[in-house]
Amino acid sequence: MEAIQLEDSPETKNRVNRITDETGKVKELKNKTGKVAAIYTEICIGCGVCAYKCSTESLVLERCEVSTHPPKDRSELARLVMADLEAAGTEE
């Protein structure tokens, strides 16, 4: 499975969307195929290729406020895992 795929969406067939290009000109785009882009955020790595390649500029990447960093070593990983397990145990 890829992070972005086209999926069937019959209700969107022949829908007209209006976009404004960089010059301020309004364009009308018609969905002739009835397909929409589905983005699977759980496997998206945020590389930006999809936004770069999108001819209609309808995909935009936004920076998340929360940023996680990988553990520095095995002991830090173990501490993080144990903290997650303890937190999961106290929620029940």
pTM of the model: 0.44
Nearest-angstrom CA–CA distance, 58 and 50: 10
Per residue in 72-89, pLDDT (tens digit) is: 899 999 999 999 899 888
Q: 33 Cβ partners below 8 Å, 6+ apart? A: 13
Nearest-angstrom CA–CA distance, 90 and 11: 44
Q: How confident is the model at residue 67 (pLDDT cuts 50, 70, 90)?
A: low
**One-letter amino acid for residue 76 of the chain:** E
Nearest-angstrom CA–CA distance, 48 and 60: 8
